Structure 1
């Protein structure tokens, strides 16, 4: 019973075989998938996907790479969407200092606005962090994000950063990179993260795990992430799957519709 807490099944890479991709995930024991809407284009299609499949849920948010495209009315739109029965979190939101698509000050403003929205509506947040560890922690602290907590998506930081996030009520999620031979730090951090705060994901179609690295990722491959995480933790894959699914259910409240806003 696996849960993929971060996937992008609505993107163009799946247009030709989306139903088959979803079926393969079910065949691998994936019982829930959280599809992530992250801008004006992907949010409606993510919601539509969640409406079509009982076992797919969605997030809504503005990705830092797209922060510059966010207009004044978009925050109000996100707030309205929070009452949808399949919306389980606000995200992915955060800071991205790798891609030079939105100025840092714009990313910072949009990030803070969405944290405040999450606190207002009582939803957890899903954090995108690329090359911005210090500033991510700073903003989360200053905006009192611990009130809602959430997910540090595809975590790539140090154990020191992970500890600060854990202290702020966040879960730490790992994806395909923990299957890479040269990914020393993510494996070391995963080994230290408490089991009750651990999540797994694919971020498909990106970050494909070994042995399919370089090809399109898909939610079925979350089993490969679970196998790698279980080995690092020294427990069975079945136990790892059960624990991470329980963690996702408690945090994202699957099925408790209408309670968020």
Structure 2
């Protein structure tokens, strides 16, 4: 069995219904899905979608450059309301650091403030956090170290850094999640992480509709392709597909308590 631990099934790119996407994914052994929120609007849609099936869970969070016109306090209130509205919310995020800066996006200082708000909220509600990190290794690590000492847990989604950084994140008690980026060419540094990571510390995801496998570059990604991530991990770690699937399934269930 497989879980797509991070997907965006309420994205406008999908013309199919969520029910159709899930039915298709099941043919590939994908049994559970975590729909990840990135904005006030998407959080509401993710919660609504999670009510359609016992196989669907969700998270709520604000992406580094979303809802920039709304104050930090109001964003927190919105997330708190999300948490009160549904028991299908199993994590806070995705949130983190996105560099270089977007035009009209948040400054690095504002991104750090936003991230810290999420980390506090996760601690207050005893939920894991889903971290987005693009070129923000230093800032992300500093905050995760601070909050992991208070008991924070979570996952570094779509990991793309090297083994040295991976070890730093793992030492904080966090998990690391792999996408189909591991199937792309010239990713030796990332494959070293795949090879070395303990079997109880990794998750698998698609980040669909983004990041399709190498064989489908340029197309829309779907949760069913998490099997391709699993196959690549199995190849690199010299394990069977069943071993990788079972470990990632159990790791995800343990982290998100699903």
Tell which deviates more after alignment, 66-75 or 2-11.
Answer: 66-75
Q: CA deviation at 1:88?
A: 0.5
Alignment equivalent of 1:95, drawn from 91, 94, 97: 97
Which residue is equivalent to 2:25?
Answer: 25
Q: Quote the Cα distance in structure 1 between the aligned partners of 2:80 and 2:21.
A: 31
Is residue 58–residue 88 contact of structure 1 (8 Å, CA) maintained in 2?
yes
Contact 1:146/1:169 (8 A) holds in 2: no
* TM-aligned CA deviation for residue 99 of structure 1: 4.3
Equivalent residue number for residue 6 of structure 1: 6
1:225-244 counterparts in 2 under 5 A?
Answer: 225-244=229-248
1:142 & 1:156 partners in 2: Cα distance?
22
Aligned to 1:183: 187
Contact 1:67 1:107 survives alignment (8 Å): no
For residues 4 and 126 of structure 1, what CA distance do their matches in structure 2 show? Answer: 14
Deviation at 1:146, TM superposition (A): 6.1
Name the structure 2 match of 1:108: 112
2:152 corresponds, among 148, 153, 165, to: 148
Report the 3-state secondary structure (helix = DSSP H, G, I; strand = E; otherwise coil) of the residue aligned with 2:94: strand
Query: What SS does the corresponding residue of 1:194 show, helix, strand or coil?
Result: coil
Structure 2 equivalent of residue 85 of structure 1:
87
- Bigger Cα displacement from structure 2, 79-88 vs 89-98: 79-88
Within 1, Cα distance between the matches of 2:140 and 2:134? 9
Residues 117-176 of structure 1 deviation map (CA, whole Å, 9 limit, x = unaligned) = 111110000000001111110121233466121010000111111111111110010001
Corresponding residue for residue 212 of structure 2: 208
Separation in structure 2 between the aligned mates of residue 85 and residue 17 of structure 1, nearest angstrom = 23
Which deviates more from structure 2 when the two are superposed, residues 137-146 or residues 27-36? 137-146
Tell me the secondary structure at the aligned position of residue 107 of structure 1.
helix
Would the alpha carbon gap of residues 28 and 124 (structure 1) be closer, same or farther in structure 2, given more than 3 Å must change?
Answer: same
Question: Residue 48 of structure 1: SS of its match in structure 2?
Answer: helix
Runs of 4+ in 1 over 4 A off after TM superposition: none
Q: Give the number of equivalent residue pairs.
A: 254
Q: Which moved more, 1:158-167 or 1:68-77?
A: 68-77
Other structure's SS at 1:203 match: coil
TM-score by length of 2: 0.94
The alignment yields a C-alpha RMSD, in angstroms, of: 1.4
Any gaps of 5 or more consecutive residues in structure 2?
none
Question: Against the structure 1 CA distance between its residues 215 and 146, is the aligned structure 2 distance closer, same or farther, given a 3 Å change threshold?
Answer: farther
C-alpha separation in 2, matches of 1:145 and 1:32: 30
Whole-angstrom CA distance in 2 between matches of 1:145 and 1:182: 36
Change in 2 beyond 3 A, CA 1:215/1:251: same
1:258 matched residue in structure 2? none
CA distance in 2, matches of 1:169, 1:67: 30
Q: Where does residue 74 of structure 2 map in the other structure?
A: 73
Q: For 1:157-213, what per-residue CA distance to the aligned partner results, in whole angstroms no more than 9, with x for missing partners?
A: 111111111111100100011111221111111111111001110000001112112
Q: Deviations over 1:48-95 (max 9, x none)?
A: 110011101000011112262442222022123224211010010111
CA distance in 1, matches of 2:51, 2:241: 30
